[in-house]
Amino acid sequence: GAVVSQHPSRVICKSGTSVKIECRSLDFQATTMFWYRQFPKKSLMLMATSNEGSKATYEQGVEKDKFLINHASLTLSTLTVTSAHPEDSSFYICSARDYPGRNEQFFGPGTRLTVL
Amino acid sequence: DAKTTQPNSMESNEEEPVHLPCNHSTISGTDYIHWYRQLPSQGPEYVIHGLTSNVNNRMASLAIAEDRKSSTLILHRATLRDAAVYYCILRGTYSGGGADGLTFGKGTHLIIQP
């Protein structure tokens, strides 16, 4: 199957700093990527849909100015957590489809963010 | 999205078959039934999907009730590596526009005993 990578796999930062997480589709082009967040012992929650060449679509309750998404190419989407606070500590996971409408969605390995 | 209901946890023995149930009584005619699983500290992994007919692949089988209000994921011979949270997700027919994220429920935590 298609492979999605994320970098970094783990990051620890101080409160108030910004953190960028990269999501790459390694062997396919993805016009759309998705960002999820997962708190400990909870399920994944969709944060936003990242569209190549256009603005991201955010789910209700997700602050677009705090979680900046850039989908500059067909293989890369980035999520920047701005002015991170301890409550932003979570497991961030991206996913992509290799073509629109495909049933199978490919997930990255996730990025563990800890804000001190 | 239509809601799914799964048991919180299930336990099985290694090398035995596992049947993971999912209820989706409000499923619409165009909803596909998807199963993903998530191993500890990893991103989810696609397992299988179906619409009306039973489906088989190298990982599992999916049995869909005739009225489509329930389905069962079948792992034919569980191994310790199958210990994960299994999510049953409904997804409607893609209508374009890119908005195609998945709605995850709580899933079933599958415990495999050696």
How far apart, in Å, are the Cα atoms of B64 and each of B28, B58, B90? 14, 18, 13
Using the predicted structure, report yes or no on whether residue B39 has a pLDDT greater than 60.
yes
Using the predicted structure, report yes or no on whether residue A101 has a pLDDT greater than 90.
no
Maximum CA extent, chain A: 40
Using the predicted structure, report yes or no on whether residue A67 has a pLDDT greater than 70.
yes
Q: B64, B50 in Cβ contact below 8 A?
A: yes
Chain centre distance of CA B31:
14
Q: How confident is the model at residue B100 (pLDDT cuts 50, 70, 90)?
A: confident
Q: State whether B44 and A93 contact (CB < 8 Å).
A: yes
Using the predicted structure, report yes or no on whether residue B99 has a pLDDT greater than 60.
no
Q: Give the span between the Cα atoms of A90 and A29, in whole angstroms.
A: 27
Using the predicted structure, report yes or no on whether residue B96 has a pLDDT greater than 60.
no
Q: Give the span between the Cα atoms of A27 and A60, in whole angstroms.
A: 32
The residue that leads in pLDDT, B7 or A102, is B7
User: What is residue B31's DSSP assignment?
Assistant: P
Among B19, B28, B34, which Cα is nearest to B72's? B19
Q: A60, A48 in Cβ contact below 8 A?
A: no
Q: State whether B45 and A112 contact (CB < 8 Å).
A: no
Locate the chain A residue with the closest alpha carbon to B37. Answer: A107
Using the predicted structure, report yes or no on whether residue B42 has a pLDDT greater than 90.
yes
3-state secondary structure of B3: coil
A26 touches chain B (CB under 8 A): no
A104 touches chain B (CB under 8 A): yes
Q: Give the span between the Cα atoms of A48 and A64, in whole angstroms.
A: 9
Q: Which of A27-36, A46-55, B15-24 has the highest mean pLDDT?
A: B15-24
pLDDT, residue B92, reads: 77
Query: Parallel, antiparallel, or unpaired: how do β-strands B9-13 and B108-113 relate?
Result: parallel
Q: State whether A45 and B104 contact (CB < 8 Å).
A: yes
The residue that leads in pLDDT, A99 or B36, is B36
**In chain A, % of residues over pLDDT 90:** 79
Q: How confident is the model at residue A98 (pLDDT cuts 50, 70, 90)?
A: confident
**In chain B, % of residues over pLDDT 90:** 82
pLDDT tens digits, one per residue of B1-30: 568 999 999 999 999 999 999 999 999 888
**CA-based nearest distance A98→chain B, Å:** 12
What is the average pLDDT across A54-66? 93
The letter for the amino acid at A70 is N
